[in-house]
Structure 1
Amino acid sequence: MFNSEFNIFNFSLQIDCYISLMTDNTILEKIKIIVTPYVQRQEGLDDFDEKTDFLTDLEINSANLVDVILDVEDEFNIEIDNASMEGMLTAGDAKRIILTKMEN
């Protein structure tokens, strides 16, 4: 009994460590890779950071923004609800939503 409880604890600890290793920069880099195919204004990628606005800085149209969200869900193995979708307008918004969903 003790051994199986230890294994579950150890597995949980490994997952927590994995999430911790995924730094903010790693997540932002993955977001940048995800949005790149949909970007109409390539110069917007030069200064890509948390403040980068998907609609104005990168000129991603609203239809493609849905594709970005679907790609984010696939990449991070999460589900993004409608309320979170509406709030995902910048790279920083996306990062915060991803981290929140990964922790739950």
Structure 2
Amino acid sequence: MDRIKSYKEFYQFYLTEHSNKTCRTLHFVGTLLVFVLVFLAVFSNRPLLWILVPVMGYGFAWVGHYFFEKNKPATFKYPLWSLISDFKMFFELLTGQLSFDGSRDRS
């Protein structure tokens, strides 16, 4: 596959790589836990919680890719765009702009 040149194009690719409902749900849960852990680490002054941030974020996502999507996470080829897209997908799922089953994805 050729390198993707625009973020808009990448995000459409990202959504196709996250079309499985369980994979999307695991991404959502992992990202939610990231927000919870960051909040707790900052406001409880427990710096060891920072170690769990990437474990939760990537752990849930990679389980979704390995066991349910059966593909390789885009993080390995497009790390920054993948991180941005994970947060974008999280908020779009949270607000109902995207559905967990992929039925309301943009074309």
Asked if TM exceeds 0.5, the reply is no
Bigger Rg over Cα: 1
Length-normalised TM-score, structure 1: 0.33
Larger RCO (CA under 8 A, 6+ residues apart): 2
